[in-house]
Structure 1
């Protein structure tokens, strides 16, 4: 497919990635997202929002954009507030769904197509997948031999509903926007989906999820959409 055709095709889902100073890890994230088996033919785009004043990721994005037909957009904002850059990514996204993946995460095969299929199948407003750690030493630390501190896995069946009140935290683990996909029309239909009041001290994810839950939005678990 030519770049012109890829640009003309409206993406079904937009992947938004935030970056500050982990460009070496961001490259791993993006190159695995761009592998064909990650999306399985689902039309998608990637929007990278760089939060570093020196625009550290700009060169990487330009290099990768020259090697792929997947639309790859680079944006930057130096203000140190995660909600600001999340909102910038959302407003730039063209897909009817937005998926977030952190810049230190790499998706398993079929990650994006599984999130997309889950939302299409269930009609839910948001879907969440598990996050498992990879340790540089090859093994978890002795003080946490199972790697529990770094793992988020509810071990629920596919499409299981997540009832936020009483289930936001399961065994001490809270949901967030990392490895999650949202329906834009129902979740991001305001000027400021993530409140900037929380963006410089964390808590913006929890605030958004509670606000969505209070308005009756449905969340589901997608165990096949794994990141590491």
Structure 2
């Protein structure tokens, strides 16, 4: 008999009480035949604030659970610690405020096998609280799916991701520490993977659920997220286009923003459509800002520490 397929599931965390629920959902997934699971939790806090949640789930499940203490406040450090610790055939990433569904991993692996992709993305479905604005629930503004460009996925996210560790495009690839405090490190990682020949596929049945926290159920939060997404896209453009092309991209993004804002005024009395176009316009403004070199806001931790090659393992 061939050896079992080793699949590792990585959760990077920073002071989130929801981690316990995330780990419990992972513990309840269906395990594909001839597969062995290992869970890796990377704690990005200076204090070992996630240790208790890890120890609690470790005592309840048969899967191996590894705790990595890799401070502080730079998500790329935590992600890279997971990459360095992983030894399996596949490595999946989910966020510490998400719930995976029972068939999640099976669907990711099936798509990876069918497509021979270096990376597979799954959908993230938002679940709103009772106090969320009605138009936001109707428009489903917080859910996440990949963007297809001419039928191809050229970048993605880590909130629902499976990586083939044996793929040539994956080898020696790491998350950029310079992006670990502002975000967009996952966009850059997957864009680079695609640029070096790594195929990115989509598993539409590999569902992850994200409960939307009250503080995130606002236009202000969504606007900030869209603007940062635009800046992340601009970073990818800067690495692939020459100066004349970048100038054209700035003009096009600015025009798109103006069109979106104009359409939002026309649709002002239709809240879902209005805010959808406003947010799309803000995304294009983020592209303009990114192409002009506007620095991205810092969202994780304090000063960037030196990278740790051997985070504390337990």
Bucket of the pairwise TM-score, normalised by the shorter protein? 0.7 to 0.9
Q: Is the Cα–Cα contact under 8 Å of residues 15 and 99 in structure 1 kept in the other structure?
A: yes
Task: Please state if 1:212 is matched with 2:205.
Answer: no
Contact 1:133–1:147 (CA under 8 A) maintained in structure 2: no
Which residue of the other structure, out of 176, 179, 188, is the alignment partner of 1:195? 176
Q: TM-score, normalised by structure 1?
A: 0.81
* Alignment match of 1:148 (pick from 135, 140, 153): 140
Structure 1 counterpart of 2:10: 16
Residues of 2 paired with 1:77 and 1:67: CA distance?
24
What is the Cα deviation at residue 153 of structure 1? Answer: 3.5
SS, match of residue 144 in structure 1: helix
Higher RCO (C-alpha under 8 Å, 6+ residues apart) = 1
1:89 aligns with 2:102: no
Contact 1:83/1:199 (<8 A) preserved: yes
Contact 2:147–2:153 (CA under 8 A) maintained in structure 1? no
Give ranges in structure 1 of 5+ residues lacking alignment.
1-8, 169-174
Relative to structure 1, the CA distance from residue 78 to residue 162 in structure 2 (aligned partners, 3 Å threshold; closer, same or farther) is farther
Partner Cα distance (1:155, 1:20) in 2 = 28
4+ residue runs over 3 A deviation: 153-156
Name the counterpart of 2:127.
Answer: 134
Q: TM-score, normalising length from structure 2?
A: 0.60
1:73 counterpart SS class: strand
CA-CA distance at 1:201 after TM superposition: 0.9
Going from structure 1 to structure 2, the CA distance change for 1:104 and 1:67 (only over 3 Å counts) comes to same
- 2:153 maps to which of 164, 188, 195: 164
Q: Which residue of 1 aligns with 2:55?
A: 62
Whole-Å Cα distance in 2 between the matches of residues 100 and 39 of structure 1? 16
**Residue 207 of structure 2 corresponds to residue 226 of structure 1:** yes
Residues 1:135 and 1:145: Cα distance change in structure 2 (over 3 Å): closer
1:48 and 2:33 aligned: no
What's the CA shift for 1:143? 4.0
State the structure with more CA Rg.
2
- Asked if residue 101 in structure 1 is aligned to residue 94 in structure 2, the reply is yes
Bigger mean CA deviation after superposition, 90-99 or 44-53: 90-99
2:133 and 2:124 map into 1 onto residues whose CA distance is: 17
Say yes or no: does 1:28 pair with 2:10.
no
Cα deviation for residue 178 of structure 1 reads: 1.2
SS at match of 2:166: helix
What are the Cα deviations for residues 161-184 of structure 1, in whole angstroms up to 9, with x where unaligned?
96235xx5xxxxxx3111010111
> How many residue pairs get matched?
204
The structure with the largest helix share of the pair is: 2
Farther off after superposition, 178-187 or 64-73: 178-187
Following the alignment from structure 2 to structure 1, what is the Cα–Cα distance between the partners of residues 206 and 57? 24
Extract unaligned runs of 5+ from structure 2: 210-314
